[in-house]
Structure 1
Amino acid sequence: MSYEHLAEVYDRLMEDAPYEEWKNFFLSILDRENVRPERVLELGCGTGEITHRLAHAGYRMTGVDLSPEMLSIAAAKENSSVEWIQQDITKLEGFSDYDAVISFCDVVNYITDSEALASMFHETSRALNEKGLFVFDVHSPAYALEQLAGETFAEVYDDLSYIWFCDRDGSDLIHDLTFFVQQEEGYKRFDEEHRQRIYQLEQIQELLINNGFAVSSVHSDFSLDEDTNGERIFFVCRKV
């Protein structure tokens, strides 16, 4: 999976993403859990949209992503106190004493090996201080299988268009993307393939428990009510 070219157009494609809802959900969870964090670590921060929002809200943010292209865009957006670090989030090194860790926008689904996901949970626990908070989201299995698998999506702008084929391969979703980006002369085409694992919620909970966490609550679609029937499932966890 590469973001070398996708990073160029990522923010254009994500203009309607609910970044404010992710931020506000996290802030509401902090209030409900009576947590007042100073240092927050975001795993899979991409171009930093959520990271910057939380930095503006007063938190000392660290954003981690595997893609140097995505991090370059994140760092160039504005001057801030955010620390940007390129690492594989399943093999974190050098992180400790964070009050909270977040990972949104179905980043966890991009970890397509259960052992690698267990490693990510284990290293996240090590990065947190005592009883630190871990909040993340995943696609619900029903949404992935019923509304993504087997579908084709497309969008056409004046200077950008894409075709996105989404197919199922066992427990994985295969996202086959073709982009056409306007250049000075004609259009540049590039293709990328991305794979996501469809995790059952019970499997995620078991991996969390086995790697240093207790699950405080599970939510769907940015609601503070506990529920697992939506499209996007949120886990709120405490280090134990």
Structure 2
Amino acid sequence: MYQNLSIVYDRIMDVDYDKYKNIIKQELMDSNNLLILDLGCGSGALTEYLATYGQVFAVDKSEEMLALASNKFSKANYIALDLLEIQALNKKFDFIISAFDVFNYLENFEEFTLALENVYAVLKKGGKFIFDIHTPSKIDELLNEQPFAYEDEEISYLWFTYPTENKLEVESEITFFVKEKDNLYKKIYEYQKQRTYNIDKIIEKILEIGFKIKTYFCDFEFANKDYQNSKRLIFVLEK
């Protein structure tokens, strides 16, 4: 996954990273000299900002994404690692963030639980963990409002989503056309799956592992707790 998408990732990501920076600022305030884990850092959109608060370890499974991230900001520790293996870092972090859908790519709820347990294990007592996940409403939207399309002078794509045999899971088929020399276009295919889970079940598991839920909110609106009718749920957890 992302082996082909990394070529055009930053161009097509329709997300507002400033909203995440605002959340980080609110939680970390004037903290400094922290040990920070950017978990599933992708192309490193948040890594440089996180570095204003301390030393950053940026982890991603995709070496292609890590190459993009390190080209943007070289002063972080970039490590190709599955998020289920982060205990191999042998470090304890003050702050961990996993932004924009990372947990939606885990294969099943067992992996989702294991990922939370691994984060808990490498988080210092009193440390904070922020992550987000699609709501069931978002998965329904991906199925009901497709196909998605995008076009500019250099890149265009068609994005189709399909249901799978699993509840609250979608499979995506994305075809890119990327302009190269002499007005020729390179055709790139990307296939991926995303899934989510019953939100009450997620909350139950978070508490069972030992996290405290400092707060949660939806769609980057701090007062919005209505995850039944929102697209994205953001958790702020403490150990």
Q: Please tell me whether the aligned partners of residues 45 and 51 of structure 1 are also in contact (alpha carbons under 8 angstroms).
A: yes
Q: Could you tell me which residue of structure 2 aligns to residue 54 of structure 1?
A: 50
* One-letter identity of the residue aligned with 1:9: V
Q: Please tell me whether the aligned partners of residues 162 and 172 of structure 2 are also in contact (alpha carbons under 8 angstroms).
A: yes
- The alignment's TM-score, normalised by the length of structure 2, stands at 0.90
Distance 1:19 1:235, change over 3 A: same
Q: Give the deviation of 1:124 after TM superposition.
A: 0.5
4+ long deviations beyond 6 Å: 34-37
Rounded Cα–Cα distance in structure 2 between residues aligned with 1:4 and 1:222: 29
Q: Could you tell me which residue of structure 2 aligns to residue 200 of structure 1?
A: 198
Q: Could you tell me which residue of structure 2 aligns to residue 44 of structure 1?
A: 40
Distance 1:36 1:211, change over 3 A: farther
Residue 175 of structure 2 corresponds to residue 178 of structure 1: yes
Rounded Cα–Cα distance in structure 2 between residues aligned with 1:237 and 1:157: 39
Counterpart mapping for 1:143-182 below 5 A? 143-145=138-140, 147-150=141-144, 151-169=146-164, 170-182=167-179
Rounded Cα–Cα distance in structure 1 between residues aligned with 2:217 and 2:80: 30
Residue 84 of structure 2 corresponds to residue 90 of structure 1: yes
Question: Could you report, residue by residue, the CA deviation over 1:9-63 in whole angstroms, capped at 9, with x for unpaired residues?
Answer: 101112x4211111111221334xx9767111111110001112222x3332111
What's the Cα RMSD here?
1.9
Counterpart mapping for 1:114-129 below 5 A? 114-129=109-124
Segment drifting more, 88-97 vs 2-11: 88-97
Q: Give the deviation of 1:139 after TM superposition.
A: 1.2
Question: What fraction of aligned residue pairs are identical, expressed as a percent?
Answer: 31
Q: Please tell me whether the aligned partners of residues 96 and 126 of structure 1 are also in contact (alpha carbons under 8 angstroms).
A: no
Q: Please tell me whether the aligned partners of residues 122 and 211 of structure 1 are also in contact (alpha carbons under 8 angstroms).
A: yes
Q: Give the deviation of 1:237 after TM superposition.
A: 1.0
Q: Give the deviation of 1:72 after TM superposition.
A: 0.6
* One-letter identity of the residue aligned with 1:141: P
Q: Please tell me whether the aligned partners of residues 98 and 127 of structure 1 are also in contact (alpha carbons under 8 angstroms).
A: yes
Stretches of structure 2 that go unaligned for 5 or more consecutive residues are none
Stretches of structure 1 that go unaligned for 5 or more consecutive residues are none
Q: Give the deviation of 1:129 after TM superposition.
A: 0.8
